[in-house]
A and B are shown apart, each in its own frame.
Chain A
């Protein structure tokens, strides 16, 4: 069975500081990996995805993530956080079968940005 663990429930960083959100996954084959962001009262927005190839993937809003197979990790990073980045962040894992439906989500990390 596939699963996702986001070890940090809540992270606080100062505006302008760097950010890393951790994600560990369990999956029996090569996974598809995703990061989503959710602002209060909104649906989830896709930040970036990894399917294959370069293990460092770039996303929207200046985010990037690195896939490390040996560590079963897919950590999200941003070099300089803006106040508007305050939100909840979800990591998700899905299957290689492009016709397969579901992704499994972690429980999220809430990011607070201090001025």
Chain B
């Protein structure tokens, strides 16, 4: 597609519920990233894929967070047993290679109540 597409745009989850956030990167972009952006802060790195390989997951805050990209295109970020502190905007970005900056999606705003 022309841009990075994320769905849903908004998600309200009850505490303890599992959620799945989807990212559809630009076609042909090898690298895909997930970032978490809390209110009033810059994006914080969560995890990184190169094709289907998850090369860095050092930013995932707990084992409740899990990401996958099984066929090297669409990625899903899953959060199990959501907590209030998980409330944030989750941004997905893709890039063709390291010589380029990211192209970001519009994000998914997750609110845990």
Contact = CB atoms under 8 A, between A and B. Distances in A.
Contacts of A99: 50, 55, 98
Contact of B107 (A43, A98, A100, A106): A43
Contact of B45 (A32, A90, A103, A106): A103
Interface string A86-101: 0000101010011111
B98 A44 contact: no
Interface in A68-115: 90, 92, 94, 97-108
Please classify how large the interface on chain B is, using the bins under 10, 10 to 19, 20 to 34, 35 or more.
Answer: 20 to 34
Interface in B75-113: 91, 93, 97-107
A67 interface: no
A43 B48 contact: no
A97 B31 CA distance: 13
A90 B40 CA distance: 11
Contacts of B104: 36, 43-45
Contact of B42 (A45, A100, A108): A108
Interface in B38-55: 40-45, 48, 50, 55
A74 to B, nearest CB: 13
Contacts of B93: 43-44
B56 interface: yes
Contacts of A42: 106-107
B70 interface: no
A31 to B, nearest CB: 12
Interface of A: 4, 32, 34, 36, 41-46, 49, 51, 90, 92, 94, 97-108
Interface of B: 4, 31, 33, 35, 40-45, 48, 50, 55-56, 59, 91, 93, 97-107
